[in-house]
Amino acid sequence: MTDAERDLLVIGAGPVGLYAAYYAGFRGLSTAVVDSLPEAGGQVTAMYPEKPIYDIAGFPQVRGRDLVAGLLEQARRFDPAFVLGERAQDLERNADGTITVTTASGLRVHCRAVIISGGIGTFTPRPLPAGDGWLDRGLSYFVPSLEAHAGQDVVVVGGGDSACDWALSLEPIARSVRLVHRRTAFRAHAHSVAQLMASTVEVVTEAQVTAVRGRERVEEVEITGADGVTVRPAQAIIAALGFTANLGPIRQWGVDVSGNRYLPVDTTMSTSVPGVFAAGDITDYPGKVRLISVGFGEAATAVNNAAVLINPEEQLFPGHSTDAAPTPA
């Protein structure tokens, strides 16, 4: 897509942003979706595509990857323009009340309203000190595909939920799984830790990966702990050490920020900048609960209020989807 005009721009292609794109189409709005990640799905795609999610209404259990696929199918009925791998850099309010958002590469999207659904903002994995130079050569910070590690010796580094979840998910697929954690106490949920300890995963605590060796790709790791130094085979290292989050350029858009990372909104999901709404984890208000299921409702609220802002003759309540004429798939 080159420079474009749309009724609505959604910033963030995570689950909430994808649902906003669907709902905007349902309201008859032309929409573009911008995300700095190369794939749609936000944190779900980047961090836990294979994990089951249990609190999505209507789904007793759904994998992250399948949830994103369903949301994409739902949104694509209305043909939103996806601009992926592009960070929204600048926001300018024009004299006629429209808004222009420019991406880091210079793409300009002219729109009449914006919904920021950027989750926690731009998130960057905390690096593995010993892994310098090994990224994409056996070292990774996420697991896009479990099957890619079939038959491998895998070392997972970390003590949080992601580390435990990846280790448990890889256990039946990999040849061996070792989890290395520098402490004895885990940050993960107690239930996950109990499952980990009852599994065949080798858990090495009070230890760190201090060296990575190999030719073209990772072949072995050096683990230093209370009992000294050991060397173990490894064709894959998953560094699940957490991440840092940053609102990035959004801070320069004149939007009020709370807690150094959230955007306060009112009951219409409006931010402090006219025409700029927000939905999902990035929002803040009294009683806020940061769940995907909550974000879906916020997205619908933001879109409906944006629709009225764009066209004051529109009704805030859109009617029920069951009353609408079927849209071709």
User: Angle CA(42)–CA(7)–CA(312) in degrees, nearest 5?
Assistant: 125
Identify the pLDDT of residue 125.
Answer: 82
The response to whether 123 counts as a known ligand-binding position is: yes
Q: DSSP assignment, residue 249?
A: G
- 1 pLDDT band, cuts 50/70/90, is low
- Per-residue pLDDT averaged across 223-230, rounded? 94
The Cα 55–Cα 97 span in angstroms is 39
Contact (Cβ atoms closer than 8 angstroms) between residue 192 and residue 165: yes
The response to whether 186 counts as a known ligand-binding position is: no
Q: CA separation (Å) from 225 to 61, 89, 181, 210, 238?
A: 39, 44, 10, 10, 19
At 243, the amino acid letter reads F
Domains located in the chain, CATH noted: 4-123+243-323 (3.50.50.60), 127-239 (3.50.50.60)
In angstroms, how far is CA 215 from the centroid of its own chain? 33
What confidence tens digit (pLDDT) does each residue in 93-146 have? 999 999 999 999 999 999 999 999 987 666 678 899 999 999 999 999 888 788
The response to whether 48 counts as a known ligand-binding position is: yes
What percentage of residues in the chain have a pLDDT greater than 90? 78
Across the chain, what does the average pLDDT equal? 93
Identify the pLDDT of residue 111.
Answer: 98
Bridge partners of residue 135, in order along the sequence: 139
What confidence tens digit (pLDDT) does each residue in 169-205 have? 999 999 999 999 999 999 998 999 999 999 999 999 9
User: What is the pairing mode between strands 113-116 and 108-111?
Assistant: unpaired
In angstroms, how far is CA 138 from the centroid of its own chain? 23
- Per-residue pLDDT averaged across 239-249, rounded? 84
Contact (Cβ atoms closer than 8 angstroms) between residue 142 and residue 47: yes
Would the pLDDT of 327 be above 60? no
Range list of H helices, the chain: 15-26, 42-47, 64-76, 161-170, 190-198, 292-310
203 sits in the region (left: phi over 0; alpha: psi -120 to 50; else beta) called beta
Greatest Cα-to-Cα distance within the chain, rounded to the nearest angstrom: 73
- 328 pLDDT band, cuts 50/70/90, is low
